[in-house]
């Protein structure tokens, strides 16, 4: 079985993330959306909440599973039997950081391959951070985040501001 992991902080999951997962689900037998902590970011939603949001978005996708991990991504990959890490690339600016991580992950676990998928052009400007910024300032998030979770995001942003 070909298992791929799509790791990220997903705070919250955007239409850009969802698009990558749905396309990857057509290529792999199983895609694990692995929600984790990025120590360089402060989060709007707890890990548990982010998992719930992702589960809501992918509930109709039989070969998409949502999980979480702590520690090294490569250790998690070994634990779940995944040999592929999927990353989305929006623009050249993403490349440098992803390039470094891909090489480090390969060094730590030589059997793992990082596969980059180009973000859908429609979502190439999207990030969780920009979504939070727009929502916080009262902008419309329609088309930026999955419809099923838009109200939860508005509510949380309103509570925080
Ligand atoms: O969505 P993000 O915030 O860009 O996701 C970053 C994430 C969680 C994928 C990255 O920080 C990660 O892989 N963390 C796990 C810890 C780890 O393995 N670090 C070494 C990577 S080279």
- pLDDT bin (cut points 50, 70, 90) of residue 161 is low
Report d(CA 129, CA 74) in Å as an integer.
26
Report d(CA 26, CA 23) in Å as an integer.
5
Q: What predicted TM-score, i.e. pTM, was given to this entire model?
A: 0.96
Q: Whose CA is nearest to atom 9 of ligand 1?
A: 8
Domains of the chain: 3-124 (3.40.50.620)
With a cut of 70, say whether residue 71 has pLDDT above it.
yes
Q: How far is the CA of 24 from the centre of ligand 1 (A)?
A: 19
Question: How is the chain split among helix, strand and coil, in percent rounded to 5?
Answer: 45, 20, 35
**Residue 127 neighbours by CB under 8 Å, 6+ apart:** 14, 16, 90
pLDDT in tens, 82-100: 999 999 999 888 899 999 9
Of 79, 82, 118, nearest in space to 98 by CA: 118
List 9, 36, 119, 128, catalytic entry: 128
């Amino acid at each position: 079985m070909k298992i791929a992991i799509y790791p990220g902080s997903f705070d919250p999951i955007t239409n850009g993330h969802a698009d990558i997962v749905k396309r990857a689900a057509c290529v792999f037998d199983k895609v694990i959306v692995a929600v984790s902590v990025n120590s360089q970011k402060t989060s709007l939603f707890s890990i548990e909440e982010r998992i719930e949001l992702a589960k809501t978005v992918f509930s109709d996708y039989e070969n998409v599973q949502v999980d979480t991990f702590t520690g090294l991504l490569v250790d998690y990959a070994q634990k779940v039997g995944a040999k592929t890490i999927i990353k989305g690339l929006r623009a050249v600016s993403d490349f440098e950081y992803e390039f470094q991580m891909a090489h480090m992950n390969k060094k730590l676990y030589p059997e793992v391959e990082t596969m980059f998928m180009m973000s859908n052009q429609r979502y190439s400007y999207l990030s969780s951070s920009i979504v939070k910024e727009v929502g916080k300032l009262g902008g419309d998030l329609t088309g930026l985040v999955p419809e099923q979770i838009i109200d939860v995001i508005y509510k949380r942003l309103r509570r925080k501001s």
